[in-house]
Amino acid sequence: MPSTKSSTKTASTSKASSAKTTRSSNGTSSKANSNSQLEKFFEDSLKDIYWAEKHLTKALPKMQKAATSEELQQAIANHLEQTKEHVNRLEQVFEQLNKKAQAKKCEAMEGLTKEADSVMEETEEGTATRDVGIIAASQKVEHYEIATYGTLVQLAKTMGEDEIAEILAQTLEEEKETDEMLTEIAENNINWEAQEEGEEGSEEEEEEK
């Protein structure tokens, strides 16, 4: 127990509130807390999402290629560029923390992209139904990211890391925008087109059962 530094290392609740009041005038106090369990958790979460974002930069091109509509292809292409920027931002965050940018395998993101893979395998090429599946899989990814960045932004604020909170909040906003844009694409066109396909293909479905 680092009891000698008790002025900055008291119970976590009082630490958090004192951080709020002293942080702006004393930027070094964050370093004093760098061994706290919360900071360790924060760092682990960063490593996790860093892996996830990097993994997405490999998964998205496959999804882009598999998508049927140009609109969705373009949306995924934009999302890929954004994702690369998210990787850069996380590297900035590691730098701010004076830590080496390190990725730790994110089982959740691996699972979500595997699900996207099977959607692409199980739907027919060139159909709107495939696009529906790709959008559904993408939105699961976005929601995972939104949950993760939402937590990270709040934790950064709690720890008095306001600059880091701002960087992460930027990404959080973009994840939300992507999610909304995917909903729009689905609702304006693709879902309806897919519904028509469903009617045409219903005979085949019957045979399968």
**Rounded CA separation 159/128 (Å):** 46
Contact in structure between 68 and 127 (CB atoms under 8 Å): yes
Measured between its terminal Cα atoms, the distance across the chain in Å is 64
Residues that bind Fe ion (CB under 5 A): 83, 86, 145, 175
> At its nearest, how many Å lie between Fe ion and the CB of residue 41?
20
Closer Cβ to Fe ion, 23 or 84, answer by number: 84
* Residue whose entry in the numeric block shows the structure tokens 């931002």: 89
> At its nearest, how many Å lie between Fe ion and the CB of residue 1?
38
**Rounded CA separation 122/162 (Å):** 45
> At its nearest, how many Å lie between Fe ion and the CB of residue 153?
13
**Rounded CA separation 29/34 (Å):** 9
| DSSP at 6 | T
> At its nearest, how many Å lie between Fe ion and the CB of residue 79?
6
Closer Cβ to Fe ion, 145 or 161, answer by number: 145
Q: Count Cα atoms within 13 angstroms, Cβ side, for 17.
A: 4
Residue nearest to Fe ion (CB): 86
> At its nearest, how many Å lie between Fe ion and the CB of residue 142?
5
- What residues contact residue 143 under an 8 Å CB cut-off, 6+ apart? 179
Residue at 47: amino acid letter = K
> At its nearest, how many Å lie between Fe ion and the CB of residue 73?
16
Closer Cβ to Fe ion, 19 or 155, answer by number: 155
Alpha-helical runs (H) found in the chain? 12-22, 29-32, 37-66, 70-96, 107-122, 128-158, 162-185, 191-200, 202-208
| DSSP at 10 | S
